[in-house]
Structure 1
Amino acid sequence: MTVEATFARWRDRIEHQLDARLPSPSDAPRGLHQAMRYAVLGGGKRMRPLLVYASGRIFTADESALDAPAMAVELIHAYSLVHDDLPAMDDDALRRGRPTTHIAFDEATAILAGDALQTRAFSLLADAALPAQLRVDCLQTLAHASGAAGMCGGQALDIDATGHQQPLQDLERMHALKTGALIRAAVRMGALCGQAPAADLATLDTVASALGLAFQVRDDILDVEASSEQLGKTAGKDEAQAKSTFPALLGMDGAKAHLRTLTEQMFDGLAGYGEAADALRALARLAVERDH
């Protein structure tokens, strides 16, 4: 089976799993449940759950063992987008080519939907049919990546930096938390489910760190070069909000050169895994070559 066919199968699996693990829209409180489903099932690249499956494949993890970590990381990502779009944060009206959750519903419902998606993510892991220690390891990994030491901390740094350009070291640290932490968690949880040795966990963490930064550099480039129709969200917002970005700091040519360096780091790190890492390599390439 080709990598493309594998991705198509995994995406079908992800959509089915997400639909099954979210509350019914006809059950009370219906508005909350409908908003949760709206935020999660409205499309998206599904990069983070795909990374769980691709990382697990390197160590021949059973796909059924990867389902709960893959769904959990996607629910955390979805909650973060709902909250990120709120008026008090990035104040965006467009996400994945349609109105953001607080526009489609209302602000209070969007906040509650994000809260509920976050807690649902952890309940999925806690209830997963996995060995107890593996459940604890995955819970610890995702919790660390989601909180003040990870995604939330990175968002706070981003807010603090609005209006002035950070030096490269600070910019990379911010995005290593805001964007990279969940990507690293996805790769690590997949490897954990495959009982990867400590040395491989360390290697893949280095690869995932480069991937997380590369993903953000590409995001920053697309915010300048792509249209809102391509992105499915409002283009040009970084400049309009005086955000600290890689193109603003390095120039467009410098940002693209930095992206090439990060790409080389990813592929160098995966060189020793042979065909088993083909899916992870393809996702890395997708992250740096995507047009939306």
Structure 2
Amino acid sequence: MSDRPSPTRVVFLGGLGRSGTTLLERLLGELPGCAALGEVVHLWTRGVLADEACGCGEPFHSCPFWGKVGERAFGGWSAERAERVLALRARVDRTRRIPALTRLLAEERAGAGAWRSPAVTEELGEYVTAYRRLYEAAAEVADSPVVVDSSKHASLAFCLAAAGVDVHVVHVVRDPRAVAHSWRRRVTRPENGTAMTNWSPARTSLHWLAQNLGLELLAREGVPVTRVRYEDLLAAPARTLRRLAAVLGVQPSLDFLGDGEVSLSVAHTASGNPMRFTVGRIGLSRDDGWRAGAASRQWSLVTALTWPLMIRYDYPWRLS
């Protein structure tokens, strides 16, 4: 393991799924110097082990981009390595581990550095090293100094930060009532024809709270975190992207944005929402179908469970 910090800058999109992270990732991936990688946390299962399709449409092991990344990072992809990373994930990368990871992060920031700190366990170090090598290899293959990982999980963001990865978290939030409505819809994954996970409004609310509170805690520990609301992104995409480009230190070249639409190129995203396969011009419009599609009692339940953070994120209690 190298004791130097990673020269690659990692933009980590955090938040709960169905909050617009895939859209934001695709938009950031169009900026010069940014390479969108998809949900890297699922790459080991869905890419390396299951050989599901890359965003380019090719099976993972047939994709030239990921073939080069695997060769540079690990001397080639292997099931053994993927299974080892997944085993480590089960031990160190869990929401319930965030309090312990917070202590590690605090010691890392106050002490001599992540790779020299005895507080960083061997398992955490091994786990994050796999990600760091993957990020560095992807940046080299894409010839981009910035890679975008839309893994979302606050616990993984904590792992990366505690182990010294140069990470900037973009905290994506959306009205929890819209998120809860989306999690109740049946969506088919085009990679294998299976249905994506469905959650009840109550369960979605608890996960929404856990992920957003985790990212709030990460910001309190001094990790760079920039919040973006889904609603603001759709209302003013150019303004939102210019703000992010300035914060992330990349060129705000927005030629791909038009009036209410965007032109997307092929992206080598390893996993994520079905939108990762979209290429060409698409309209940018806010999905507000949840306002008519959800029962008022469901809105009331979600509001009752999430209201402290709803207020913080400027979401109104009452719907007009």
TM-score (norm 2): 0.28
Q: Which structure's residues are more often strand, by fraction? A: 2
